[in-house]
Amino acid sequence: MATPEADTDHGTVAALAAELAALRATAGRRHLLDVAAGVLVAQLGVEPAEAAEQLDRLAAETGQTSTDLAADLLNQATGAVPERAEPATLAEARRHRLAGSAVEAVADDMDVLADTLLSEHLRPLGAEGVLLWRLRGSGCLELVGHAGVSPLEAARWRWIPPQWPNLLQLAVGDGMPRWLPAGPPPEEPLPGPAAEAARAVLPLRRHGGSVGLALVVWPAPTGLEEPVRESVVGLLEVAGRVLEAQAAAAPEPATRPALNTLLDLLAHPAMLLAEDPRTGEQWVEHLNAAAARATALPDPVGRPLAQLLPFVQDELCRLIGTAHATGTPQRRPRLPAVHHSGEPGSLVNVRTLPLAPGCTIVLWHAGSRDHAFSLLELAGRLTDLAAFEDDLTRETSHWSARAYPIFGRAAQAGPLPLQQLAPLLHPDDRGQLATQIEAMTQRQENVNTTLRIVREDDGSLRHVRIIAEPVLTHGTVTGVTGVFQDVSAQHRTELALTATFDRLATVQEQAALRHRLALQLQEAIIPEAPDLRRIDGIEVAARYRPAATEYRVGGDWYEVLPLPEGRILVTVGDVAGHGIDAVNGMVALSGSLRGLAFAELQPAKLMGVLNRVTLHSAGRPTATAICALYDPESRALCWASAGHLPPLLLRDGRARLLDSPHDILLGALPEAEYHEISTELRPGDALLLYTDGLIERRHSSLDETLATLRRAAERLPAAADVEEQAAQLLAAVSGDTDDDASLVLLRIG
């Protein structure tokens, strides 16, 4: 039984509908009178006001209404009726003229035009829907107005490419209407309530050519007799006139029509940009319908990109520049990379495709302001997922095989659409599901929620996360896609984590203690501010930079040691790893080297002994090292390398890397052999030994970082003392791998 409130609502809607119909009729009559007055101005040569008065006088003298007289006047002026037409013919022509004027009065909005055609003129003929397409220059049909069909149906038929030889394109091609009293053939589906419902496919022609197409739909099979056909054709002539006028007012751009048509067929936003060769500024040459809806500007074509998308313009231009420089498409998961509250929604899955010079295609998906994530990005971080997809247009659903065990549902029972999951939920969670579905279908938002599921097979309670997003077709929600994840185990894990929190705190305290111990060991070997005195024949400076990250004590060491026979031992090394194990390895190697240096062994022999020490050290560490002996009397440097970076020689303002023997690092092979190289040094030469933490960078090659080191060395002021030069090098060159760094700089006297 209807409630009083429902009766009141129904009456309000009916009153508003009647008021709207009256306003449309008034606008149509006003439009008809204005056009007729214009005809009299041209025929009689009078002022517009006098023409309107003349029209009223003629109507009074002939006993007609002003609108009927205006309709007859226009029909005679255009030759729509013969001079001695029958009364019935005059009445029919007058009715068509009045209908056309009512439609032309609302021609600015094609949806309103279609609704006026349907509600005022086609529905009395039994029709229940009308769709209007514009013929684009590329041959593609674009749906510009519709009434009496659902938004989902309209979205499916928004674009009809010329390559699709269906009844609609065939009618446009040959200019012949198709009358289908019992619906289209089974292999030629068309919009409508049922396959057997009557339809009329009518090309809209002006001056011998097609400007568009109309489809009129009836609710059931209908005879479509000749009087009905003539009325429908006459009523739709006005739609052809409107489409012709719109095309003349805003002609299509002539550039790249095939490419523009291809972009128009895409469901997600796409635009074509052209670069100004003088300024380098990007200009919008074409947008598809989805991209136009994503912008807030009217008539965006022909505007600079900076006006269209100001919040991502800089990042997008850099991406376009990279695409053209490399000749390959570029992609970013999100622009801007960081979304701030109050800013427009992000562009998701952005791709730039370089075409001809100065021409770029930009594709993206519309992001959500409140849910700054994409479904694919989030799904990639989760495990044990089951995918699902609901097609709202066909009312079908698809689950992946892993979804059925989550719900305890037999695969033979088939999937359930998201809207039908409520019976499987805990009663307290059903309202939450309805809220999330509304967010997707009404506000086009992504959702991420956890619900309690009562399994069908054993009745057990499971916690299931649902992550989903709406599928949009030309701005209309036509489906839902997402994933299910059984997160029941996470609740148990959270309890376990809470129970073990105290144990974790104890482990952290032990780690801090190990860190302090490692620091003490390291500082005992390598003080932060080394005090190296001047040694006969050379000036020496050394620098050590600890690891950037706390708890990452490293295994670097260096040594400059005068020997009794007059030679000088210079060594730099790096034990792999971090923490106390690395420091223990560093202490063992540097201590062994200091003792072996006084045994008068050559560098290659020293390396061999150090290799055996490393192999028998606790934890079996590996290390790189350079060991060199300098003779001040002959200025000869004899040195060996175990997988270490090459020394840098600075001579006469030019820096070069010394060729190193390709010998293996310490601790890798039991019987490794090492080779020596002799380098003659000159007065004024500077030699730099260093560890990899000084130069290594995550996103740069070794050649690039070594080139940076050479340039920094060549910029050192020649007049500066060696301590100042070492400090400048450490400041100018830095790695980003959170590793400690050491350098030893020697200048020959």
Asked whether residue 450 carries a pLDDT value surpassing 80, the answer given is: yes
pLDDT value at residue 375 = 45
| 252's tokens | 């299509």
Paired residues of 556 in beta bridges: 574
Q: 382 and 352 in one domain?
A: no
Among 213, 236, 221, 254, which Cα is nearest to 96's? Answer: 236
Structural tokens at position 421: 């999951």
Contact 288, 262 (CB under 8 A): no
pLDDT at 520: 57
Where among 191, 216, 251 does a domain terminate?
A: 251
What is the 3-class SS of 667-678, one letter each residue? CCCCCCCCCCEE
H or E stretch including 485?
strand 476-486
- pLDDT tens-digit profile of 165-197? 688 988 988 889 999 999 999 888 898 888 899
- Which residue among 300, 333, 366 closes a domain? 366
The answer on 733 and 630 residing in a single domain is: yes
**Amino acid making up residue 466:** I
Strands 654-657 and 648-651: antiparallel
Q: Return d(Cα 685, Cα 715) in angstroms, integer.
A: 15
Q: At what angle do helices 48-62 and 4-44 cross, to 10 degrees?
A: 110
Dihedral sign for Cα atoms in the order 489, 490, 491, 492: positive
Cβ 524 vs Cβ 424: under 8 Å: no
- Lowest model confidence (mean pLDDT) among 360-364, 367-371, 723-727: 367-371
Q: What is the DSSP letter of 128?
A: -
Contact 48, 41 (CB under 8 A): yes
| 577 or 685, greater pLDDT | 685
Q: Same domain, yes or no, for 683 and 541?
A: yes
Q: Please indicate, yes or no, whether residues 87 and 113 belong to a single structural domain of this protein.
A: no
Structure tokens at 532: 């190296």
Band of residue 387 on the pLDDT scale cut at 50, 70, 90: confident
Give the pLDDT confidence of 649-698 residue by residue, as tens digits.
999 999 999 998 889 999 888 888 999 999 999 999 999 999 988 888 88
Taking every pair of Cα atoms in the chain, the longest distance, rounded to a whole number of angstroms, is: 136
Can you tell me the mean pLDDT for 106-125? 79
pLDDT bin (cut points 50, 70, 90) of residue 391 is confident
pLDDT for residue 71 is more than 70: no
The whole-number average pLDDT for the span 277-295 is: 82
Mean pLDDT of the region 374-387: 54
Tokens linked to 641: 């390398």
Kindly state whether residues 633 and 734 are assigned to the same domain: yes
Cβ-based neighbours of 538, under 8 Å, separated by 6 or more = 568, 630, 632, 746, 747, 748, 749
What is the Cα–Cα distance from 313 to 334, expressed in whole angstroms?
13
In terms of Cβ atoms closer than 10 Å to its own Cβ (0-12, 13-18, 19+), residue 557 is buried
What pLDDT shows up at residue 697? Answer: 87
Q: How many CB atoms lie within 10 A of CB 382?
A: 12
Look at 282-296, 455-469, 603-617, 686-700 and tell me which has the smallest mean pLDDT: 282-296
Produce one character per residue of 276-287: b if its CB has 16 or more CB atoms within 10 Å, e if not. eeeeeebbbbbb
* pLDDT for residue 28: 57
- Whether residues 148 and 99 share a domain: the answer is no
* CATH of residue 152: 3.30.450.40
In a domain, 512, yes or no: no
Say whether pLDDT at 549 is over 70: no
Q: Quote the tokens at residue 511.
A: 């780690």
**294 and 339 inside one domain:** yes
Angle between helices 87-104 and 4-44 (to 10 degrees): 110
For residue 350, the Cα-to-chain-centroid distance in whole angstroms is 3
CA distance 676 to 658: 13
CA distance 277 to 744: 52
Q: Which domain holds residue 168?
A: 108-251
More confident residue, 564 or 724: 724
Tell me which residue has tokens 């900076």: 306
**Boundary of a domain, candidates 50, 75, 105:** 105
Beta-bridge partner residues of 484: 386, 466
Whether residue 3 is contained in a domain is answered as no
Phi-psi region of 85 (alpha: psi -120 to 50; beta: other; left: phi over 0): beta
Domain assignment present for 511: no
The highest-confidence range among 69-78, 126-135, 234-243, 357-366, by mean pLDDT, is 126-135
d(CA 607, CA 675): 9
**533 and 469 inside one domain:** no
CATH of the domain at 583: 3.60.40.10
Alpha carbon dihedral 294, 319, 271, 250, in 10-degree steps, equals 100
Give kind and range of the element (H or E) at residue 95.
helix 87-104
H/E stretch holding 21: helix 4-44
Cα 144 → chain centroid: 28
255-274: burial string, b at 16+ Cβ within 10 Å, e else: ebbebbbbbbeebbbbbbbb
pLDDT, position 551:
46
pLDDT of residue 106 exceeding 50, the answer is no
**448 inside domain:** yes
398, 323: one domain:
no
Domain count along the chain? 5
Of 730, 632, 631, nearest in space to 688 by CA: 730
Using CA atoms, how far apart are residues 140 and 134, in angstroms rounded to an integer?
8
Nearest to 168 by CA among 221, 118, 131: 131
Which range, of 419-433, 460-474, 491-505, averages the lowest pLDDT? 491-505
pLDDT band, residue 379 (cuts 50/70/90): very low
Neighbouring-strand partners of residue 686:
650, 747
Q: Residue 698: what pLDDT?
A: 84
Sheet containing 178-180: order of strands: 159-160, 141-147, 129-135, 209-217, 199-206, 178-180
In a domain, 176, yes or no: yes
Residue count of the chain: 749
> Which residue bears the tokens 């929190």?
501
**Would you state the pLDDT for residue 183?**
92
Q: Clarify whether residues 567 and 704 are in a common domain.
A: yes
In this prediction the pTM is: 0.39
Residues of the chain above pLDDT 90, percent: 23
On whether residue 508 sits in a domain, the answer given is no
Q: What is the pLDDT of residue 42?
A: 58
Pairing of strands 209-217, 654-657: unpaired
pLDDT of residue 52: 65
Rounded-to-integer distance, Cα 466 and Cα 432, Å = 12
Instruction: Give the mean model confidence (pLDDT) for residues 336-349.
Output: 67
pLDDT one-digit tens code per residue, 604-626: 998 888 888 888 877 778 889 99
Distance of CA 190 to the CA centre of its chain: 34
Q: What is the CATH number of the domain that holds 265?
A: 3.30.450.20
Q: Is the pLDDT of residue 646 over 50?
A: yes
One domain for residues 96 and 112: no
Is 358 within the bounds of a domain? yes
Measured CA to CA, the distance from residue 419 to residue 400 in angstroms comes to 18
Do 117 and 51 sit in the same domain of this protein?
no
Query: Is 10 part of a structural domain of the chain?
Result: no
> Higher confidence at residue 419 or residue 367?
419
